[in-house]
Structure 1
Amino acid sequence: MTKTMEIFIDALLGSDDTERALFLKWMGLKMDMRSRKHMSNLRRKYKECEQKKDREAIARLDKELLDSSLGIEHYMREMGQIYEAASFGSNKISDKISSLPTLAAKLLLAGFPIELLDGDASNIPEKWNYKDHEDEVTDEDLKADFERMWTQEMGNIPGLTEKDVPCDVLMNFRSSFEHRNVTQYLQTMGKLTQYGKKQFKAKKEHVKLGKLKGLIYAHRSVKHDLQNTADNVISSCFKMTEQFAQSKGDYQTAFTKDLLDEINEHLKKAGTNYDTKFEFDLKLHICGIASRKFTEMHRKYLAEQDPLKHLKKFKSQYLSDFIDLYRKRDQCHRKAREFTQVCLNPAVTEYIDQSIGPDIVDAVLKKHPTEYSSRVLFQYTIQKELLEKSNFEDFNRYILQYNDYVKEWIYNRIVKCFSKDISLQNIKMKKLDSIMQKIMKAMEASKVDGNGSPLPNNERGAKTLIQNFCKSMNCDISISMKKVKQVLFQNTADCASFTKSLYECIEEMKIQLKDEISNSDIKETLNNVSVKPQSMLFKRVFGCGKKCPFCKTPCEAEGTDHQQHHAAVHRPKGLCGSRNDNVLCEEICTSSVLGNRTFKNQETDFEPQLYKDYRKYYPDWHIAPDMYIEASDYWKYVMVTFNKQFAECYKAEQAVYPDEWKKITKEQVLISLKKNILNIKY
């Protein structure tokens, strides 16, 4: 192809109909002007040469006249010659040359002449003129035509607009302080998404003590409590955020409101000795984390719901439909396979993931029936593991963040069970077999109409078959009817052939799902299930969740429906930060409530109160006074082993305990644990 023709063709292909027409008109005028300028002079010379009978001059002038009469039609003829030449042989035609017939057709429709017969050579370029004839069209030609149509149509489809999620989170954050004077804090605020990247720290300005402002102990105690409150709130809200973000839907304003409500619930239990600045900073920290997570969630949703992306998923299917429709081919088996892969397979997978939660719980309980049979036995299992690991951070979290520690422990326990002892694949396979039986029954029932008569053996019958099937399975699995319509678009198969192919493809799908199940991962499964096994087990063994106000020992009363909280064995109070004159306290609650010792905290406005009068402040707790009850060897051992770490954690002096505590061994601790928790005598 010459450089001139390449420029000419590129100009036509790279412009729309209006620009193309303007270009050709302009080019035609320019060429006409050039011709007029030279033609009159050449004709005069030609007549003179004829009179002189100068044959050589006449031949030369003939060529010059031809060159001067160059017009648009000559370029059109050259396009045909280029295409005709490129069509011979086995070489693949480039996309540019392949598009020339379509371009010529558009020019013809726009009123520009196209040469069908080369008068000079008495030749009809068949490939050029009959390119669109059915016998001459290859799949590559159809694919090229489809690609051009696809590109043009895709350019007309708008994408989804991304919403400003951080702005929405910020609006809810500001609303949570409505009618409260936080203007000075808002004015110094930075960008919301930058908050929550570092660990939250309770600060001096977060503490509100009023008339007790000068008490160092009160300030230190409240600050420590606020830090614990913040840690618990952040942990709880982070898990809520993760749960929201893992859902398949879009971000909702309600997510942020739920987080703020969760924060408010925790703050109600935190007393009144905190400043508005604490609440502001804590909410800002959590909303900063949430704004980033929710933005990721929203963008992921947009990417999944983007109409362009959805269309691209079905591009190969539409191309096949386009070619099959042109060739008038039977689409039966391909349509059946697409229905099972695009519509049925995801629905079955979702069914297994969403319904397997209770089965996982049953498997865990069957494997470990003892540790989950009661709250007491569950506590024994956890405390025994804590003892074996002997890690201070674990003990500290267990004491101060009991709820979160237990939830995480159960989750890890499930993962461990299914990584070693229990086959997740077997459980999923049972689910698959169950749903496949229902699918086959639904297929049989779908082959007849409402009167029990066989469906007509035509396209309408095939469509009714799928509609009946989806309706029959509606109670068990959720099949996207939108996808069904997309898949069955232009389905021309008769009902009998389509049904036969569908049975074959369902069997293929079952084999495929079995292969996928063989590679199942327990962590991924736990994230996908709607009913979380870890939550079910947690509710089973957690109890009411209330803790002793002095030593943080969990209530041992079974269930949640009880009026009085109690614990048979309490811990040394110093394990949770209680102190006497800044020395960690080794005494347990049952001894404290018997004597004349005093306590002071936020509930008492840091005024000393007798332990024996604790019910004035904690009426729902019953602590039996008994001077002969000692702390269990378990917690004595913990205090001795980690005395220094607890003191550093609470910024206090180490506890002073009896020398006998130092003699306690791990073996004795285990016996004590069984004795006090399992009531087993040795």
Structure 2
Amino acid sequence: MANDTINQCLTFVAGKVKEKTDYHPAHTMELLELIENNLKKHCELDISPKIAAALKIHICGHAAREFQSMHEAFIKDKDPERNFLALKPQYCNDFKGLYYQKETRKEYKRKAKEFTDESLKPAVMEYIQKSPNLDINGIIKEIVEFRTIRHFQLFMLKELSSSEFNRFQKYIKNYNESAQNLIQQILEKRCRSNKIEIVRTICREIQAAVVQLEGTHISNGGDIKEFFVGLRSKLNERLVISDNTTGLVVNNFRASEFSNVLTELIGKMEKDLLLKEKSVPCGPLKQQQKKLLGCQRFCPRCNVPCDKEGESHWWHTALTHRPLAFGKEEKSGKLTFQMCSHTDSSWFTIWKSYFKREVQPYDTPITATPYWKFIFAKHNEKYAEIHKCSPGKIPEAWKAITREEAVQNLNV
């Protein structure tokens, strides 16, 4: 319990630090609430106030150091003097370019790169971050696999049907970690797909604006500063482009040459943004993981997780229990395919002893589904190695079951 709580809290703190915002007292309150909820889930352990306090102090001690570093990094990043000093090389290069009358194309490339890196790219990144298509709560609502705990668990089984043994074994031995990782992977994949569309759309709009300004400046004249002012004006409905560059002075400005250089850099910026991973905000991710993990109770025989919604219930349900060989050590000397069944009342005693109160059994069918026949046939020898026993005798009909046949009955 303690290790699980610590790991959850470390992940929570790491997520807050990754957001690169300033520290807020609410972060600590959320952390303490997370610890308290974990303690309540394990009320049957009769954890003493002294142990609970020691756990909170240990976790908060680590969090305090991380949050302090996060606060210092935020202050440093927003320091006006530091940001102003960062422009010194640009001013120096501007002066050298004017004094030595450097080649115009080199100056175009330098100024275009300054503008792209210091003004345009941060504006595009902010636009991506605030885009409605990347609203994590909206994305979650659209994902069919996240509708209910049962939807999600059946999706996991379908995914695992084509995976290697090690991943399946990890799911059996550590369901919570496997489920949390899969939830994060699904959200990251959907966020990335939406981000690609957003980045490509906005970069096309920027390039179109550059081409329009090129024609305007060729016919009407104007210097490089006016070119950037015009670009900001054309994109102001989408982007808030700051003026984080210097005087933007270039001798003998020619819009056509400059726009070609700028368009090339915008293309490189697009590639960089597409390569940059879109992280899922820590808060919504944790909420979704908490929702889909449910009460986090498992059948004491086959270790299948409860699929009933919410946390406050004692009647646990599971649509598909596992073969017993997947949930515990095999002691018979030979791997046997025996489905966990509610007709065997021996494990109710385990629940009563564990919780020290009356509990209800899992409401579950007892027939072996094609899915578990397929999985057992697929991983028979591997499980025999783990349990150090002989492989089970598999009927030929089970070996003939295809993955498509196995998963087609996995429906809510």
Report the TM-score, using the length of structure 2 for normalisation: 0.64
Please report how far the alpha carbon of residue 302 of structure 1 lies from its aligned counterpart in structure 2 after TM superposition: 4.2
Judge conservation of contact 1:330–1:493 (CA < 8 Å) in 2: no
Q: Share of identical aligned residues, percent?
A: 19
1:591 has 2:343 as partner: yes
In the alignment, which residue of structure 1 is the partner of 2:203?
436
Distance in 1 of aligned mates of 2:91 and 2:405: 72
Q: CA deviation at 1:304?
A: 3.2
* Cα deviation, residue 315, structure 1: 1.4
2:174 matched to which residue of 1?
397
Residues 549 and 341 (structure 1 numbering): CA distance in 2 closer, same or farther, change over 3 Å?
A: closer
Q: Which residue of 2 aligns with 1:249?
A: 21
Are the counterparts in 2 of residues 570 and 588 from structure 1 also a CA contact under 8 Å?
yes
Query: Which secondary structure state, in structure 2, belongs to the residue aligned with residue 508 of structure 1?
Result: helix
CA 302–664 in structure 1, closer or farther in 2 if over 3 Å, else same: farther
Equivalent in the alignment of 2:118? 342
- Contact 1:455–1:465, Cα closer than 8 Å, also in 2: no
Task: Measure the CA separation in 2 of the matches of 1:387 and 1:336.
Answer: 49
Paired residue secondary structure (1:553): coil
The 2-side partners of 1:338 and 1:321 are apart by 11
Tell me the residue number matched to 2:320: 569
The residue that corresponds to 2:37 in the other structure is 265
Unmatched 5+ stretches in structure 1:
1-228, 366-372, 419-423, 448-453, 578-585, 616-621, 645-658
User: In structure 2, what is the Cα distance between the partners aligned to 1:327 and 1:302?
Assistant: 38
Indicate the SS of the match to 1:343.
helix
Give the Cα separation in 2 of the matches to 1:456 and 1:555: 71
1:329 to 1:386, Cα distance in 2 relative to 1, 3 A? closer
Instruction: Sort the Cα spacing of 1:642 and 1:394 in 2 relative to 1 into closer, same or farther, 3 A.
Output: farther
User: How far has the Cα of 1:409 moved from its partner?
Assistant: 4.4
> 2:352 matched to which residue of 1?
600
Aligned residue identity for 2:317: H
The partner residue of 2:263 within 485, 490, 507 is 507
Q: 1:309 to 1:675 in 2, by over 3 A?
A: same
Per-residue displacement from partner, 1:494-550 (whole Å, max 9, x unpaired)? 9x95865663343131242356468x3xxx51xx44569x959x969x856345554
Q: Is the 8 A contact 1:340 1:505 kept in 2?
A: no
Q: Does structure 2 retain, via aligned residues, the 8 Å contact 1:248–1:301?
A: yes
2:146 maps to none
Task: Name the CA distance, whole Å, in 1 between partners of 2:328 and 2:25.
Answer: 38
Aligned residue among 3, 8, 11 for 1:239:
11
Question: Matched residues in 1 for 2:155 and 2:212: separation?
Answer: 49
Residue 545 of structure 1, aligned match among 294, 298, 316: 294
**Alignment of 1:471 onto 2:236:** yes
Q: Quote the residue 1:12 is aligned against.
A: none
Q: Which residue of 2 aligns with 1:176?
A: none
1:298 aligned onto 2:79: no
Q: Is the CA contact (8 Å cut-off) linking 1:233 and 1:263 kept in structure 2?
A: yes
Report the secondary structure of 1:590's partner residue. Answer: coil
CA contact (8 A) 2:206 2:235 kept: no
Higher relative contact order (CA closer than 8 Å, sequence separation 6+):
2
Equivalent in 391, 401, 409 of residue 679 of structure 1: 409
Classify the secondary structure of the residue corresponding to 2:43.
coil
Alignment of 1:658-669 (within 5 A): 663-664=392-393
Query: In structure 1, how many angstroms separate the alpha carbons of the residues matched to 2:71 and 2:400?
Result: 51
Deviation for aligned residue 1:301: 3.2
Distance 1:554 1:354 in 2: 37
Counterpart amino acid of residue 259 in structure 2: Y
Give deviations 1:575-618, integer Å, cap 9, x for gaps: 489xxxxxxxx99461245998574246435xxx5xxxx34xxx
Q: Distance in 1 between matches of 2:172 and 2:355?
A: 26
Partner residue in 2 for 1:23: none
For the aligned residue pairs, the C-alpha RMSD in angstroms reads: 5.8
Deviation at 1:306, TM superposition (A): 4.2
Q: Is the 8 A contact 2:225 2:248 kept in 1?
A: no
For residue 623 of structure 1, give the secondary structure of its aligned residue in structure 2.
strand
| Aligned equivalent of 1:380 | 157
Task: Quote the Cα distance in structure 1 between the aligned partners of 2:76 and 2:250.
Answer: 34
Counterpart residue type for residue 623 of structure 1 = Y
Q: CA deviation at 1:258?
A: 1.5
Which of 337, 362, 374 pairs up with 1:623?
A: 362
Distance 1:379 1:455, change over 3 A: same
One-letter identity of the residue aligned with 1:242:
A
Q: Residues 429 and 304 from structure 1, CA distance in 2 versus in 1: closer, same or farther, beyond 3 angstroms? A: same
Q: Structure 2: how far apart are the matches of 1:671 and 1:459?
A: 69
1:326 is displaced (CA, Å) by: 7.4
Find the aligned partners of 2:265 and 2:159 in 1 and give their Cα distance: 43
Q: Distance in 2 between matches of 1:329 and 1:386?
A: 60
CA drift of 1:435 comes to 1.2
Q: What SS does structure 2 have at the residue aligned with 1:301?
A: helix
Write the mapping of 1:173-188 to structure 2, written as runs, cut at 5 A.
Answer: none
Distance 1:352 1:473, change over 3 A: closer
Establish whether residue 286 from structure 1 lines up as the match of residue 62 from structure 2. no
Checking the alignment, whether the CA contact within 8 Å between 2:307 and 2:318 is kept in structure 1 is yes
Distance in 2 (CA, whole Å) between partners of 1:260 and 1:670 is 52
One-letter code aligned to 1:473: R
Return the match for 2:90 from 286, 306, 317. Answer: 317
* Equivalenced residues, count: 372
